[in-house]
Amino acid sequence: MKILDIGKTNYEDALKLQKSLFDQKVKDPCSEDIILITEHYPVYTLGKTSKEEHIINIPENIPVYKIERGGSITFHGEGQIVVYPVVHLKGKKRSVRNFIWTLEEIMIRTVQEFGINGFRLDRYRGVFTPKGKIGFVGIKVSRSISYHGISLNVNVDKIFFRKIVPCGIKDIPVCNMSDFVGDVDLENVKQILIKNIKQLL
């Protein structure tokens, strides 16, 4: 498994890279799994279950992409760590459900190292806290290969989430790690996240 930190990216560039890696993986399923880590410049993405009523007032200057992943609409921006695993699930003898559980567990263990109680809710995907949803999951699996992935809010500007109904969930707010621990260094969080990726994936 190779982990590549590609820094801050425009969403379209990261999507093209994911698809290129996916295509390579289809041609050679035994090739090395690749985990991309990035921060995006502001962007909204609409998953397969997005509805018009989930869109409230998206600013005209922020791009919107309709994509193949599961889930509804979400926001990506600076202060949020995004992880895209291009992984062959059969090679790891994993079901899609187990893979999603593992992605959630990576985020749960990461926030727990900062004293934040992260947990799952039966009716939703992602990671939740007493102050709201902090970790997001939206993947696509084709030919047993995953792409798209997860995002973890560290200190992202939450005002952008108020322009939508994040993940189609009306009754649970969005929160940051910084809501619990004040100023938190994103690079430090990233290193702990990477450690948990190596342990669990």
- What are the residue boundaries of the structural domains of the chain, listed by start? 2-200
pTM as predicted: 0.96
Distance, in Å, from the CA atom of 122 to the CA atom of 8, rounded to the nearest integer, reads: 33
Mean pLDDT of 4-16: 97
Residues with a known catalytic role? 167
105-130 in b/e form (b: 16+ CB < 10 A) is bbbbbbbeebebebeeeeeebbbbbe
Give the pLDDT confidence of 79-128 residue by residue, as tens digits. 999 999 999 998 777 899 999 999 999 999 999 999 999 999 998 999 99
Instruction: Give the number of C-alpha atoms closer than 13 A to the C-alpha of residue 200, restricted to the C-beta side.
Output: 21
Burial class (CB in 10 A: 0-12, 13-18, 19+), 75: buried
Instruction: Give the number of C-alpha atoms closer than 13 A to the C-alpha of residue 140, restricted to the C-beta side.
Output: 15
- Structurally, what CATH architecture does the domain formed by 2-200 represent? 2-Layer Sandwich (3.30)
Instruction: Give the number of C-alpha atoms closer than 13 A to the C-alpha of residue 120, restricted to the C-beta side.
Output: 14
Instruction: Please give the pLDDT value at position 90.
Output: 86
Distance, in Å, from the CA atom of 78 to the CA atom of 155, rounded to the nearest integer, reads: 8
- Token pair for residue 157? 């500007």
Instruction: Please give the pLDDT value at position 15.
Output: 96
Instruction: Please give the pLDDT value at position 44.
Output: 97
Instruction: Please give the pLDDT value at position 70.
Output: 85
pLDDT greater than 80 at residue 185: yes
Q: Are 73 and 167 in contact (CB under 8 A)?
A: yes
Instruction: Please give the pLDDT value at position 93.
Output: 76
pLDDT greater than 90 at residue 137: yes
Chain centroid, CA 135 distance in Å: 7
- Token pair for residue 31? 């090739």
Coil, strand or helix at 42: coil
Q: Are 62 and 180 in contact (CB under 8 A)?
A: no
Instruction: At 200, give phi and psi (nearest 5°).
Output: -105, -30
CA atoms 180, 184, 186, 191: torsion sign: negative
pLDDT greater than 90 at residue 48: no
Q: For all residues of the chain together, what is the average pLDDT?
A: 95
Instruction: Please give the pLDDT value at position 22.
Output: 95
Distance, in Å, from the CA atom of 35 to the CA atom of 106, rounded to the nearest integer, reads: 13
Coil, strand or helix at 45: strand
Instruction: Please give the pLDDT value at position 6.
Output: 97
DSSP state of 33: P
